[in-house]
Amino acid sequence: MQLTGAEILLECLIEQGVDTIFGYPGGAVLNIYDALYKYEQMIRHVLTAHEQGASHAADGYARATGKVGVCLATSGPGATNLVTGIATAYMDSVPMVAITGNVALPLLGKDSFQEVDITGITMPITKHNFIVKNINELASIVRKAFYIAQEGRPGPVLIDIPKDITAQLGEYKYEKPRVVDKSLNELDEVSVANAIGLISGAKKPYLYIGGGVITAEATEELKTFAEKIQAPVSSSLMGLGGFTSDHPLFTGMIGMHGTRTSNAAVSECDLLIAVGARFSDRVIGKVSEFANSAQILHIDVDPAEINKNIVTTHHLVGDIKEVLKVLNSKINNQERPEWTKKIKEWKEKYPLSYCEDDSLKPQYIIEKISEITNGDAIITTEVGQNQMWTAQYYQFKKPRTFVSSGGLGTMGFGLGASMGAQVACPDKTVFNISGDGCFRMNCNELATAVEYNIPVIIVILNNHVLGMVRQWQNIFYGGRFSATNLEGRTTDFVKLAEAYGAVAYNITKKEEVEDTIRRAIAVKKPVVINCEIDKDEKVLPMVPPGAPLSHLILE
């Protein structure tokens, strides 16, 4: 049948199972928005306060569900406002399709009003991008974009559509979405046998998991694998929730702000098995001293990550769920009582701790949220101290319950992401843990949360400074606090939240925490909880950048 380009686009989105788009209109996408008016019963559009908020919301939607998140913006500044969100999704391997409008074909390359080369700009931060120059190619491009976003290592794809393409008529015919191939073409029997040989021969194997475990929906297979080989398990920031935190084999996060047990175990193990992890600099510290007593087995879907940051002994490339299924079917149950006993002793001797007194501590707030929600909420964070305290003190028991910007470290990410996660999972309680510096960046999205009654709960750990930067200045720069003090520009976040129409609470005492959190959950509206904490509270332990993981700063 004959449809306009805008209608073809929406029909293709419906084909792909899209039910929500986060976006902001403008001249170059008016034809698409006109079509959205007609398709409003099939696709929900959430109008954000800013295009960056739309990109983070699409990201949060994708991380919470595993589906492709979709955002839409107009040409020029609308498109460039998506860039930070696209880069965030790219660094953390999040499946997302960003759709931008552009000027009409005859105006391309002429510095026309609100024209930018968005495909050129986003080339380094997308898996692939397209500019549609023929109406007859639009449908196939949309279908390819969704496949590419999900296939192999997921990531964002951008489709740039000139305005005249959205107005032209073209032929549309329904096609069933192409199934993403998870076959293990590169996994031969010899390679599997070599991996099993390494595992069986190890006396002290140790698992380091990353976000790839969650992306592959491989948490059950991982649990079976860890229990069969009796290997302790640590997690990168992005892997939290990939292995339940209350399991006796779990040692906590590894790396710069990892637990003392995790960092000690990786230094002592004789086989490190990395699963869906990329050996980030925040994990490995000093390269020459990372797991230098161990052979390394790397399991990952992306061959480009093999031997990129750390030289491995052996590797298995393929979908992690399928690889673990193969290993589980072939490997025998193993016992390592001395190794697991040592890990247990370390965990008991070196637990995560903080100075508990009558003052309001951020760690205590996180612990209370974890206790009250029983690890069943979706927790988004901003970036910095708030993010690390959450990673350390919230007990993540399920996959897709932790949503945070890992690779890019995007301040302002959490509020948009929390809205996307809440829209995707309306029956879940969603918290966004924020610092005051991060909250300032995109607090305008409170207007979106209120307008659509998206009942996210924003907890601001308000220390009136840029906490993590100040912590580095304190430890590494002789206490020279340059441009990190926010006390002179204090904003009353309770009044600000109420001005947007949100419910707001202020906490200054430890005894106010539990009741306030329960009230916030019960109200079923957007809530801001401002928590006044001390500016000198630090995230510990901490490994100095570039130092061995054994060089922990503990106080």
Judged by DSSP in three states, 549 sits in coil
Q: Which among 15, 67, 114, 295 is annotated as catalytic?
A: 114
Asked if residues 386 and 434 have their Cβ atoms less than 8 Å apart, the reply is yes
Is residue 113 annotated as a catalytic residue, yes or no? yes
Cα(327)–Cα(294) distance, integer angstroms: 20
Cα(283)–Cα(391) distance, integer angstroms: 14
Q: Which among 7, 51, 305, 367 is annotated as catalytic?
A: 51
Asked if residues 317 and 303 have their Cβ atoms less than 8 Å apart, the reply is yes
Cα(7)–Cα(2) distance, integer angstroms: 9
Q: Is the dihedral of CA 389, 390, 395, 400 positive or negative?
A: negative
Q: Which among 256, 419, 468, 542 is annotated as catalytic?
A: 468
Is residue 2 annotated as a catalytic residue, yes or no? no
H or E, element range at 471: helix 467-476
Q: In this structure, which amino acid lies at residue 451?
A: E
Is residue 173 annotated as a catalytic residue, yes or no? no
Residue closest to 132 by CA, chosen among 153, 104, 111, 109: 104
Residue closest to 42 by CA, chosen among 1, 10, 67: 10
Is residue 168 annotated as a catalytic residue, yes or no? no
Report the interhelical angle of 83-91 vs 51-65 (nearest 10°).
20
Is residue 468 annotated as a catalytic residue, yes or no? yes
Cα(154)–Cα(216) distance, integer angstroms: 10
Asked if residues 259 and 541 have their Cβ atoms less than 8 Å apart, the reply is yes
Judged by DSSP in three states, 155 sits in coil
Asked if residues 360 and 382 have their Cβ atoms less than 8 Å apart, the reply is no
Q: Which among 96, 127, 150, 163 is annotated as catalytic?
A: 163
* Active-site amino acid positions: 51, 113-114, 163, 468
